[in-house]
Structure 1
């Protein structure tokens, strides 16, 4: 029996997401071997969005995390994570919600990023109004051109300005280089080093100005091996926990295992070479071109069309896939796929033994 096949699949309605507990543990163990000091790890929780998975990470001695939504932050507070960095600049009502997180979960040290004086002042005003001072990181634009301020004099001035505000305290720099995902590791490392150089220079300028040495939180999964080799840099991989078909193909130097699959069933045999399964846009991340899923037990199946509830596949012989056949698929992009499901089925030894709520898939839990 293949590792992914479930002896009790007949009890699981489809489409569904199944996570393989032993493989999750293996991925956590592998991650720890790839860095000298596990205190430098700050995994992003956007992939799993599941409290029980975070607890498995914490059981392995990793206590610091990164998150993007208030719900993800609340999940971390609920499991008493020691440290949680919101890698998303809060504006408007999110500032108040972040304050409420800080108030409700005192065992978790929350922080956030900011990239401009106006947003920083708004954060400071709200926290100072409650007699608090929130740790903040300056979010740097190192080439992704999504958020952040370019490292340089303007960023230094912003960092110094943060130190004058009553409701925040600057503690570090955040440099996400998600645009770097070259398959050739040598090229990726060269581009990563080039993007990182002005970050290191900025950190030196901050200490030279008399402020404490800033913590540098750098990279995601693609550049994790590069930043892990730098002394003292905090690293924030996320997808490692489940892995997916996209990263498996593009990042061959990282041998993580697939630990989350979508299962679907053949619901109709169209003709001799076409079948239809119940894996539509609502069940697997649809932002990428096809193929959006790689079926382990139908590797040659080619997607023909997809709609909200259906996926039509071309196969060599449809007779091999009668109605009711269970297909096990590796999503190309696991993170948004997980967010499509309310719960994940948990498998051990080829059988589903439990289900875990994907608690942070929603925008709000309590706060």
Structure 2
């Protein structure tokens, strides 16, 4: 029988050895040192920290933004206006809302954020004439002193973006006429081949098309500034073309990237702490269900486990196991860190001084 006054910590990285005994589970656990080490590895891979525009949707935490600023990061990418606000409040001087929209309420909110932070540059995306019209209407012709609009290009993912074609220059010209064209954005998140040579070939084909478009833009006197890439491709975009590259998953890494991108040297730095609450001869039940870890992944892949993940409800997961005892605590490595962090309004963080502390994050706030 397990001694519940001194529970065992299983499947844990070495840095978690001093984790406090009394924590409500499931709990999001983070190593600050791991984040800093991952930043250094990512900066080396892309040619310098000044090229990095990390995507904050991975962590949604102002304290992470502040730490990255201390380490030399100057620009950030966000998925929601709440994330833009978080980044600006953390002291960043450049943030891109990478989400083309025609939603008037969101546009007004972003304009207000830019107005409230006049010393920062705030960018947003458009990918259509309707998008240009929405911004023109929202601004009512007023100059955008510290807000620029970038054209989002579709690299083949088929989600958002204008075609990488000469006709798209007209959108840039329209934005230039109202004094707010800031450059280009291209996300190639559909490229996640395990073979690095295959990734390189696919990115090279996109680079060729984007380079041709930006040469035409330059001939028209339009901006050629470019933000490109994602976690699988950021190190493949040439410095001569892409001013910034914007991976995000490196911050915490994950079971997926630990397996598929080992050459980058990222260390998993975020886990979900769970407790064994029941068991039988061949299975154990943990208190970490779909509300706790990687809910967007197939059941069998939501976290790293040697045996099968048998079933999961909102608050429970049943796994194959013959060793764990009731009361044992288990550190689960998420398959997808982004949608795991999103589930928690705070994290238990091991800071770089070696102490544990609770730190706030956006959680599911949009």
Give the alignment's TM-score, normalised by structure 1.
Answer: 0.91
1:305 paired to 2:318 = no
Alpha-carbon distance change, 171 to 348 in structure 1, aligned in 2, over 3 angstroms: closer
Deviations 1:60-107 (A, max 9, x none): 111111111001000111012010011111322111111111122223
1:3 to 14, 25, 43: 14
Deviations 1:265-310 (A, max 9, x none): 10101x2111100110100122211333445xxx423200001101
1:109 paired to 2:121 = yes
Number of residues of Structure 1 aligned to a counterpart in Structure 2:
353
1:275 paired to 2:287 = no
Structure 1 residues without counterparts, runs of 5 or longer = none
1:97 paired to 2:118 = no
CA distance in 1, matches of 2:123, 2:312: 41
CA distance in 1, matches of 2:267, 2:61: 18
Q: What's the offset of the Cα at 1:40?
A: 1.8
Q: What's the offset of the Cα at 1:230?
A: 4.9
What residue in structure 1 maps to residue 5 of structure 2? none
Contact 1:220 1:236 in 2 (8 A): yes
Q: What's the offset of the Cα at 1:181?
A: 0.3
Deviations 1:312-331 (A, max 9, x none): 0112x2xx211111011110
CA distance in 2, matches of 1:149, 1:183: 27
Q: What's the offset of the Cα at 1:359?
A: 2.5
Q: What's the offset of the Cα at 1:169?
A: 1.3
CA distance in 1, matches of 2:82, 2:364: 8
CA distance in 2, matches of 1:306, 1:352: 33
Q: What RMSD over aligned residues (CA atoms) do the two structures have, in Å?
A: 1.9
1:359 alignment partner, SS class? coil
Give the alignment's TM-score, normalised by structure 2.
Answer: 0.91
Q: What's the offset of the Cα at 1:196?
A: 2.2
Alpha-carbon distance change, 268 to 351 in structure 1, aligned in 2, over 3 angstroms: farther
Structure 2 residues without counterparts, runs of 5 or longer = 1-11
1:324 alignment partner, SS class? coil
What residue in structure 2 maps to residue 329 of structure 1? 332
CA distance in 1, matches of 2:287, 2:363: 25
Q: What's the offset of the Cα at 1:190?
A: 0.3
What residue in structure 2 maps to residue 217 of structure 1? 227
Alpha-carbon distance change, 42 to 349 in structure 1, aligned in 2, over 3 angstroms: closer
